[in-house]
């Protein structure tokens, strides 16, 4: 291997439209994700995601040939590998798309069934190229016993992460509640990072809005990028999870990094000033110490320089977001050089290869590191 290649720590599949109708349609009927040709008088096709609808027409701002290739890559690992080779990507960590939107469905039981169907499909998909396609399973956290069983299934199948709801439903226990401790313990023992990714929780994806609802898309978009960092602080750091499970790792997916300096200022303010002033149980270690176990995902953040001096560059991981609308394909290496080149080759290698390899347990050929130098 002499060609320069990198690892995408944040890529996606777009699940087959009929995945759930075939698997659990008899049980849940039209409540599962499925295609409709029209919604509120507007032509589609539309995908019903379990609670809302998303318009699939023109979802990719690319030419027809490229769109066809991306769509095929979602269901055909062979085509996907061709795209990876074209884009200079050695390996990908793969997350869901429709399943993240399904996490908002009103029925917890439906969401659990939907996650199980997706996990089985993802395991099979990644099995076609286990040294290049590394899957992240999806786990709905309403039932800790079920969550533990599903995590065991993921670990046994070689999945490399477990995506949970970024925020808790109002009627659930908080993640810091001991009822979830068996789940965190299993993840820690199996070495499976907990993935917190945008659009997988209570906050609605603005792409599912319709009509007058779109008047709120700016508020919705900005609000969407707050749930993960808040849950990280309140539940995992200040809630004691990371103290009770000192080898547990957490990854924030697609939040980028320019939010981090302000968040760090406020989190340290809570620890150093407000907890002693108001009362409460401070965590055992500094916020910065906990953040050494938190991976942060970056795609094309234009303000990364503003966070440069505050980030631990052993934890930042680049991803292409393939094949979503803002993905960097087929120019990922060019985007990396433009957005991250100022950091220098040593840091770029960490962000695009070795950090992901460490967090997700990806074997990296030595010649790949040499080509990156």
pLDDT of residue 326: 87
Domain presence at residue 52? no
Domain presence at residue 42? no
Domain presence at residue 184? yes
Cβ-in-10-Å burial (0-12, 13-18, 19+) of 82 comes to: middle
CA angle 61, 319, 92 (to 5 degrees): 100
Overall average pLDDT of the 124-153 stretch: 99
pLDDT of residue 63: 82
Overall average pLDDT of the 344-360 stretch: 97
Strand locations in the chain, DSSP E? 6-12, 34-39, 42-48, 53-55, 89-95, 133-138, 161-164, 194-197, 250-253, 294-298, 316-318
Domain presence at residue 31? no
Q: Is the pTM of this model over 0.75?
A: yes
Q: In what order do the strands lie in the sheet with 53-55?
A: 34-39, 42-48, 53-55
CB 339 within 8 A of CB 301: yes
pLDDT at 64 over 80: yes
pLDDT of residue 329: 95
Nearest to 233 by CA among 157, 276, 291: 291
Which has the higher per-residue pLDDT, 362 or 58? Answer: 362
- Say how far apart CA 59 and CA 102 lie, in whole Å: 18
Domain presence at residue 302? yes
SS3 291: helix
The CATH number given to whatever domain includes residue 358 is: 3.20.20.140
Domain presence at residue 44? no
DSSP string, 340-354: HGGG-HHHHHIIIII
CB 225 within 8 A of CB 296: no
Using 50, 70 and 90 to split pLDDT, how confident is the model at 3?
confident
Nearest to 208 by CA among 118, 122, 100, 297: 100
Give the tokens for residue 295: 């991976």
Residue 102 is part of which domain span?
6-19+63-372
Residue-wise pLDDT for 5-42, tens only, equals 999 999 999 999 999 999 999 999 999 999 999 998 88
pLDDT of residue 370: 66
- Say how far apart CA 196 and CA 203 lie, in whole Å: 13
Using 50, 70 and 90 to split pLDDT, how confident is the model at 325?
confident
pLDDT of residue 160: 98
Residues 6+ apart with CB under 8 A from 145: none
Overall average pLDDT of the 223-233 stretch: 95
- Say how far apart CA 122 and CA 113 lie, in whole Å: 14
Cis peptide before 330 (omega within 30 of 0): yes
- Number of domains observed in the structure of the chain: 1
pLDDT of residue 367: 84
CB 34 within 8 A of CB 54: no
SS3 148: helix
pLDDT at 60 over 70: no
pLDDT of residue 56: 87
H helices, E strands: number in the chain: 18, 11
Domain presence at residue 174? yes
Using 50, 70 and 90 to split pLDDT, how confident is the model at 346?
very high
Domain presence at residue 204? yes
CB 267 within 8 A of CB 234: no
Overall average pLDDT of the 110-129 stretch: 99
Cα 226 to Cα 164, 201, 219, 259: the distances in Å are: 16, 11, 11, 9
Nearest to 250 by CA among 188, 292, 293: 293
- Say how far apart CA 351 and CA 317 lie, in whole Å: 5
Supply the mean pLDDT for the chain: 95
């Amino acid at each position: 291997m002499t060609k320069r290649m990198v690892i995408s720590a944040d890529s996606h599949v777009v699940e087959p439209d009929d995945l759930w109708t075939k698997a659990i349609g008899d049980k849940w009927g039209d409540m599962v994700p499925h295609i409709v040709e029209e919604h509120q008088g507007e032509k589609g096709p539309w995908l019903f995601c379990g609670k809302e609808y998303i318009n699939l027409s023109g979802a990719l701002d690319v030419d027809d040939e490229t769109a066809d290739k991306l769509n095929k890559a979602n269901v055909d690992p062979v085509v996907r590998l061709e795209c990876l080779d074209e884009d200079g990507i050695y390996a990908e960590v793969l997350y869901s798309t429709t399943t993240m939107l399904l996490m908002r469905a009103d029925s917890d039981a439906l969401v659990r069934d939907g996650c199980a169907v997706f996990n089985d499909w993802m395991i099979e998909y990644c099995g076609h190229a286990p040294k290049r396609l590394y899957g992240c399973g999806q786990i709905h956290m309403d039932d800790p016993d079920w969550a533990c069983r599903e995590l065991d299934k993921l670990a046994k199948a070689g999945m490399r992460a477990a995506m949970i709801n970024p925020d808790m439903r109002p009627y659930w226990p908080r993640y810091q509640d001991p009822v979830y401790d068996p789940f965190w313990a299993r993840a820690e023992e199996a070495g499976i990072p907990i993935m917190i990714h945008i659009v997988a929780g209570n906050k609605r994806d603005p792409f599912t809005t319709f009509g007058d609802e779109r008047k709120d898309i700016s508020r919705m978009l900005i609000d969407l990028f707050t749930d993960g960092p808040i849950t990280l602080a309140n539940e995992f750091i200040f809630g004691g999870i990371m103290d009770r499970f000192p080898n547990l790792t957490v990854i924030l997916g697609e939040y980028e990094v320019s939010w981090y300096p302000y968040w760090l200022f406020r989190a340290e303010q809570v620890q150093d000033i407000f907890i002693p002033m108001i009362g409460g149980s401070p965590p055992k270690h500094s916020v910065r110490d906990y953040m050494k176990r938190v991976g942060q995902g970056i795609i094309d953040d234009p303000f990364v320089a503003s966070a440069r001096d505050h980030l631990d560059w052993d934890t930042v991981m680049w991803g292409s977001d393939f094949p979503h609308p803002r993905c960097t394909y087929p120019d990922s290496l060019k985007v990396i050089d433009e957005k991250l080149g100022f950091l220098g080759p040593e840091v770029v290698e960490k962000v695009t290869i070795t950090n992901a390899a460490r967090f997700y347990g990806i074997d990296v050929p030595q010649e790949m590191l040499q080509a990156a130098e």
